[in-house]
Amino acid sequence: LDNSNYRRTVIHDPKFHPRAIVLDPKKGLMYWSDWASGTSPNGKIEYSWMNGEQRKVFVDSGLQWPNGLTIDYFDRKLYWCDAYLDKIERIGLDGTGRKVVFHGSDLDHPYGLAYYEKLLFWTEFQKGTVQCLNLENNTVTTLSTENAPLFEIRVFDNSTQTGSNPCQDTLECAQLCLATPTGPVCACKDGHMTDRATCVPQANYTQPSRCPSTHFQCVKNLRCIDNRFVCDGDDDCHDGSDESKAPGGACEAKPCGENQFRCDGTFCISNHWVCDGDRDCLDGTDESKAKCSNITCAPSQFTCAKSHRCIPPAWVCDSEVDCGEGDDSDEKQDCKFPSCMPWEFQCANQLCIPLDYVCDSDDDCRDGTDELNCQDICDNKTQIYCPTDSICIPLDHKCDGKSDCSDGSDEAKCVITDKEEKQKESKESKQRKKDQSFCEKNEFQCKDVTRSCIRKQFVCDGRNDCLDGSDELNCDSKAVPCKGGQCKPASTTPATSTVNCTSPSRLCDNGTTCITPQQLCDTKFDCVDLSDEGMRCDENVCGFSLECSHNCHNAPDGFVCSCPPHLHLQ
């Protein structure tokens, strides 16, 4: 601890995702937990010597999200909590006497756990509460309520570990001393090896990669990206290391492939991007006149008459000039356009678009003809047209002091002759602006001066998340589960599952609702019990995981794999 540069990797495994760890230094052992994931249906607790040797599985049944490992060193018990199964368990360090210590409705996603003198302390991830269980009388006390989410909790007590330290008393090491059941051993930091009583650099040492051979490991954030994305001009690592041209960088001397073009010194782009009318290289060599004047297009491409660009045949006669300025040879006069279907609208440029796209405030035709004469869709006797919103509103909303069109056109060119009416309009207009919400659909806007936006799941949850408590107004005395912002009374009788739900879909709401992987972590609450959101959704585990062969979906417990329709998981 006196020199943080002495750092050694004791266990390395690309599929190794430890969640919680606890040490038993007197015995020279360490224990850690691993959550269930898309490739491992069950969680587990493992242990090894503190030098990483003799790794074994300690508990692997009846676990989902084991976390918060803590040891009672006097009675030799290992305790843990399960954030998915909502229970706290213990087992003897000899592997016997497993027992459920506490479970039930008083547990709500326990995350961190700590033992101290017959007391268990734990944090509840979503509620933000710190709870205490007296193991002698089995009573629970809420110690504190903090801002969610809460993670680990620790109790520091000098009396939990007493006696001598073998590393200090019997062995002197140059860098690291690691305890093991057979006695302490000396070790060196990564890249070094022991030579008698000293540590010397290890020849030809390469830092272990977290990524497979087909991927590149980013330098700073250690993400894994496909080798195809290295030196492609895009910062896929988000730390710049996959595009680094510095000495020793990934692109310092990277050769381009047979189907690539080199520019900007070390930059490689696809040959299809050369002379395509878009400047993909900073030095512009991919679109230089010298390069493009003599280029020969492939048989599968169309050659523009003046610019000599090579474009896909699908771009010819598509009502859009793709050959560049002054060259419309891809939109020749003899273009034959297909007739539009009855459910389509034909633009002036002969393009066909769905009727639903007409008068929707978007130029889908790319010539503006789908947004012309849109006011004709309204009944002029009883309605007026909002051009920005592409909607018709009642005629009596015109000049009523309230902007019903987002561009305010229904309140334009209004004549106010009465001073009192003008004051009334001004007051109503200000109040309307004050009440206007800029929050997302899944958010609630507080009524206080901050006008803050909070998630709708926090409304009527028994806690004041707004400064003025407006999120808890007009709520029943007892918080009830909410879905999509609509609160419904909680069921008083347990439901039994009759839903046919096959993997990788999963059940929620006590087994009464089946949701697809696409509904997980999509910021919409599809389950009344809210179990399809939160937890690890914000971690973007799929961005770092390579365990799914096809489709990866972020999930509250990490990630879920799925397959295209013609394949299945195995």
Q: Does the CA dihedral 462-465-466-467 come out positive or negative?
A: positive
Residue 479: exposure state from Cβ atoms within 10 A (0-12, 13-18, ≥19): middle
Cβ contact 543:531 at 8 Å = no
Contacts by 414-421, CB closer than 8 A, 24 or more apart = none
Which is more confident, 16 or 525? 525
**Which among 80, 75, 102 has a CA at the least distance from the CA of 33?**
80
3-state per-residue secondary structure call for 172-218: CCCCEEECCCCCCEEECCCCEEEECCEEEECCCCCCCCCCCCCEEEC
Domain 18-160 sits in CATH 2.120.10.30? yes
CATH of domain 296-335: 4.10.400
pLDDT tens-digit profile of 210-225? 787 788 889 888 888 8
Task: Tell me the C-alpha to C-alpha distance, in Å, between residue 235 and each of 113, 147, 241, 266, 448.
Answer: 40, 35, 8, 15, 41
Between the alpha carbon of residue 433 and those of residues 9, 73, 179, 334, 473, the distances in Å are: 58, 62, 67, 55, 22
Q: What percent of the chain has pLDDT over 70?
A: 89
Structure confidence at residue 491 as a pLDDT band (50, 70, 90)? very low
Q: pLDDT category, 111, cuts 50, 70, 90? A: very high
Q: State the pTM of this model.
A: 0.47
Asked whether the beta carbons of 46 and 55 are under 8 A apart, the reply is: yes
Domain ranges of the chain: 18-160, 166-201, 296-335, 344-397, 512-569
Four-residue CA torsion sign, 61, 65, 71, 75: negative
- d(Cα 186, Cα 198) in Å, to the nearest integer? 10
Q: How far apart (Å, rounded) are the C-alpha atoms in residues 76 and 24?
A: 10
> Could you check whether 18-160 and 344-397 share the same CATH topology?
no
C-alpha 65/C-alpha 110 separation (Å) is: 10
Question: What percent of the chain is helix, strand and coil (3-state, nearest 5)?
Answer: 15, 25, 60
Question: Smallest Cα–Cα separation from 557: which of 524, 512, 508, 498?
Answer: 508
Give which of 73, 78, 85, 155 is closest to 122, Cα–Cα: 155
Render pLDDT for 374-425 as a digit per residue (tens, 0 to 9).
Answer: 777 777 778 888 877 667 888 888 888 788 887 777 887 776 555 445 444 4
Q: What is the DSSP string of 34-88?
A: E---SS-SS-EEEEEETTS-S-EEEE-SS-SSEEEEEEETTTTEEEEEETTTTEE
Q: What is the CATH number of domain 344-397?
A: 4.10.400
pLDDT, residue 39, reads 65
Summarize pLDDT for 181-212 with one digit per residue, the tens.
998 999 999 999 988 778 999 888 877 777 87
Residue 547's nearest CA partner among 16, 65, 45, 12 is: 16
Q: Are the C-beta atoms of residues 37 and 17 closer than 8 Å to each other?
A: yes
pLDDT at 486 over 50: no
For the chain, the maximum distance between any two Cα atoms, rounded to a whole number of angstroms, is: 100
The amino acid sitting at 4 is S
